[in-house]
């Protein structure tokens, strides 16, 4: 409830990604959306997030100091919006876990 409704949080997502790219230059964000329109609905079409990928520039730069082995972890999202959060984790020279990239996809598919 601290962040408002599901719809409010969802509507701020593109603003958050734009801010991340502005304040952390070199950050990469790619997302795919689609639109949905209800039958007999005079409202404008809703934008639906299908998947998003992002990598913060410090993570990208830190990649060169990590071991050449990555691990992809997944966790299923629950609540109103379902999907899968994917993270790529590596180890640095001191054996500390290092997050590299993140993605939210609708499910594990070849296209996603």
pLDDT in tens, 73-99: 899 988 777 889 999 999 988 888 989
d(CA 46, CA 14): 14
User: Do the domain assignments include residue 41?
Assistant: no
When divided into structural domains, the chain yields a total of 1
Task: Please answer whether residues 32 and 51 qualify as being in contact, where contact means their C-beta atoms are separated by less than 8 angstroms.
Answer: yes
d(CA 75, CA 82): 11
Domain that holds residue 11: 6-36+46-105
**What confidence score (pLDDT) does residue 40 get?**
62
d(CA 53, CA 50): 11
Whether pTM > 0.75 for this model: the answer is yes
User: Do the domain assignments include residue 56?
Assistant: yes
**What confidence score (pLDDT) does residue 22 get?**
96
């Amino acid at each position: 409830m601290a962040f408002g409704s599901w719809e409010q949080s969802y509507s701020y997502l593109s603003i958050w990604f734009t801010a991340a790219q502005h304040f952390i230059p070199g950050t990469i964000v790619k997302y795919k959306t689609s639109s949905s329109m209800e039958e007999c609905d005079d409202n404008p079409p809703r934008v639906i997030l299908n998947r998003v990928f992002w990598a913060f520039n410090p993570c990208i730069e830190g990649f060169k100091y990590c071991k050449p082995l990555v691990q992809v972890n997944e966790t299923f999202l629950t609540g109103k919006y379902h999907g899968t959060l994917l993270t790529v984790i590596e180890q640095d020279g001191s054996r500390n876990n290092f997050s590299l990239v993140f993605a939210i996809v609708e499910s594990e598919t070849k296209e996603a």
